Amino acid sequence: MSMDSIDPLLGALRAAAEPSRLRLLALCAESDLSVSELVHILAQSQPRVSRHLKVLTDAGLLERVREGNWVFYRLVSDGFGVPVAASLLGLIPEHDAIISGDLDRLAEVKRQREQAAADYFSANAEAWDKVRSLHVDDAEVEQVMINLMPQHGAQRLLDIGTGTGRMLEVFSSRVGTAEGIDASLDMLAVARANLQRVNLGNCAVRQADIYQLPFPSGQFDAITAHQVLHFLDRPSQAIAEAARVLKPGGWMLLVDFAPHTLDTLRDEHAHRRLGFDDDEITRWLDDCGLQCTAVEHLGGTPLTVTIWLANKNDNNTENLR
Distance CA 129, CA 121 (A): 11
Averaged pLDDT, 70-88:
89
Are 92 and 211 within one domain?
no
Choose among 8, 3, 40: nearest CA to 24. Answer: 40
Q: What pLDDT score was predicted for residue 67?
A: 62
Q: Which of 58-67, 197-206, 219-228, 312-321 has the highest mean pLDDT?
A: 219-228
- Would 123 be classed as within a structural domain? no
What is the average pLDDT score of the chain? 88
pLDDT at 269: 78
What is the reported pLDDT for 315? Answer: 53
Confidence band for 321, pLDDT divided at 50, 70 and 90:
very low
Query: What CATH number is associated with residue 16?
Result: 1.10.10.10
Whether 252 contacts 243, CB under 8 Å: yes
Q: Please indicate, yes or no, whether residues 195 and 98 belong to a single structural domain of this protein.
A: no
Is residue 168 domain-shared with residue 63, that is, in the same domain?
no
Res 69 pLDDT > 50: yes
Q: What is the pLDDT of residues 264-303, one digit of tens each?
A: 887 777 788 889 999 999 999 999 999 999 999 999 889 9
Q: Same structural domain for residues 277 and 175?
A: yes
Same domain, 94 and 240: no
Mean pLDDT calculated for residue range 223-238: 91
Q: How many CB atoms lie within 10 A of CB 141?
A: 21
Judge if 149 and 238 occupy the same domain: yes
> Across 157-166, 191-200, 227-236, 258-267, which has the greatest mean pLDDT?
157-166
| 52 and 152 inside one domain | no
Query: pLDDT (tens digit, 9 = 90+) per residue, 163-190?
Result: 889 999 999 999 999 999 998 888 888 8
pLDDT class of 229 with cuts at 50, 70, 90? very high
**What's the CATH number where 157 sits?**
3.40.50.150
Residue 2 within a domain: no
Q: Who has greater pLDDT, 133 or 310?
A: 310
Evaluate whether residue 129 is within a structural domain. Answer: no
Q: Check whether residue 306 and residue 172 sit in a common domain.
A: yes
280 with 171, same domain: the answer is yes
Q: What's the pLDDT score for residue 3?
A: 57
Number of neighbouring beta carbons within 10 Å of residue 88: 20
Structure confidence at residue 121 as a pLDDT band (50, 70, 90): low
Position 13 in a domain: yes
Average pLDDT value for residue range 80-101: 92
Query: In a 10 Å sphere around its CB, with 0-12 CB exposed, 13-18 middle and 19+ buried, how is residue 97 labelled?
Result: exposed
319 is a domain residue: no
| Helix ranges restricted to H, the chain | 7-16, 19-28, 35-42, 46-58, 81-90, 97-132, 138-148, 166-171, 185-197, 235-244, 263-269, 278-287
pLDDT in tens, 7-28: 889 999 999 999 999 999 999 9
Counting the structural domains of the chain, the total is: 2
Say yes or no: 180 and 87 in one domain.
no
Task: Let me know if residue 114 belongs to a domain.
Answer: no
Domain annotation covers residue 127: no
Can you give the pLDDT at residue 147?
A: 94
Query: What local confidence, expressed as pLDDT, does residue 66 receive?
Result: 77
154, 300: one domain: yes
pLDDT of 320 above 50: no
* pLDDT average, residue stretch 160-164: 92
User: Per-residue pLDDT averaged across 60-67, rounded?
Assistant: 86
Q: What residue numbers bound the domain in which 73 lies?
A: 7-107
Q: Is residue 165 left, alpha or beta, with left meaning phi > 0 and alpha meaning psi from -120 to 50?
A: left
Q: Do residue 141 and residue 234 come from a single domain?
A: yes
Q: In this predicted model, what pLDDT tens digit does every residue of 203-218 receive, in sequence order?
A: 999 999 999 999 999 9
In a domain, 320, yes or no: no
